[in-house]
Amino acid sequence: MPGATKTPIAAGSIELGPIPFNLYASGEGGRLVLFCRSGFKITKRHLTVLGDSNRSFFVNSDEEDSYMDYASERLDQIVSDPKIQVSEKTKVVHGVGRRVVQKLLEDPRSGHALATSGRYVESITDLLMTSPMVINNLFAISSIDSYTFSHSVNSCALCLLIGEKLIGRKREELWNIGLGALLFDIGKTRVDKKILFKASSLTDKEVEEVRKHALYSYDIIRSQNLPEPVALMGRSHHERIDGSGYPDGLKGGDIHLWARIAAVIDVYDAITSDRVYKKMGTHLDALNEIAEQTDKFDGDIFNTLLDVVLHNERLIKDFHNKRLTPEQLEAIIGDGGEADE
């Protein structure tokens, strides 16, 4: 099957009825065979085969978006299905998130795209309540996706984890925090792509233009009649506690809590992601860089990030005593903090 993706599709995402993509199954000798053609109906017999744990299922790379749109309509079913492994749930949730962000970037003012984003955040908020391991694993995925797609999905997962620890299981507030995290960089759609993807250093004028994305994000989010704190995550995620940030030079408690969460997560995920002008750093690099700027970031939020990433007091103590190695931390991140469910 030329051009096939190598990521198995979660069998539990397939339902009775027609599918809008060609579905392939692993066969003897590792070869792939057509299982069900696009437009044909999945039958009970198909579902029996899909339940075979010894087989994997694939779609063509040029039909991956169709699969992700299909999966997004069934995301609640996928994440609540105990028969689907955490690793498969994580990949589907991440893939659907990429697709949601792609649609938002294509048309940031689209009511349909925003509604889809809201449903996505609702699903992963429910995941946080019932299966936090999936959320923990989301930001651990190594991906060849573009930076903006992955950054938005990772930021959403991490902001939800931190939000839950800081404010408790207040579902509506967590939904808003997750949506704000997914949207806080949406203003970049108004910035010239030649500047955004420039591999060399930016000029002062180009830096000024990139910084406008925070105001653009605020404008786009407000236009959708979302709560003001959600819009402030877009406007203020580059503000700093000491007043050195932008666009308003706010200090300390004048920066909304949700924006202070977004500020920490934005830096953390940016450092650990590959970008056109900078290779990814380690997770330890990211934690160290934030720790060295205690005057710029909210200390309680950073300590909560340490709790989310490291998971136990001994490792947190090792970090503060500079005894934690990059290899130890990468192993923790790769496992999502603990063994698979």
Domain ranges of the chain: 1-63, 74-267
- Residue 260, amino acid: R
Q: Output the pLDDT for position 316.
A: 92
Residue linked to tokens 């309680």: 300
Ranges assigned E (strand) in the chain: 17-18, 23-26, 32-36, 41-42, 57-58
Q: Ramachandran region of residue 79, left (φ > 0), alpha (ψ -120 to 50) or beta?
A: alpha
Q: Output the pLDDT for position 134.
A: 65
Residue 58 phi/psi, 5-degree rounding, is -140, 160
Q: Output the pLDDT for position 129.
A: 76
Q: Output the pLDDT for position 145.
A: 43
Low-confidence residues of the chain: pLDDT under 50: 1-4, 142-145, 338-341
Q: Output the pLDDT for position 334.
A: 64
pTM of the entire predicted model: 0.80
Q: Output the pLDDT for position 3.
A: 47
Q: Which CATH class is domain 74-267?
A: mainly alpha
Q: Output the pLDDT for position 140.
A: 58
Q: Output the pLDDT for position 2.
A: 47
Please, which residues have CB within 8 angstroms of residue 25's CB and are 6 or more apart in sequence? 32, 33, 35, 49, 55, 56, 57, 58
- Residue 173, amino acid: E
Tokens of 22: 């060609």
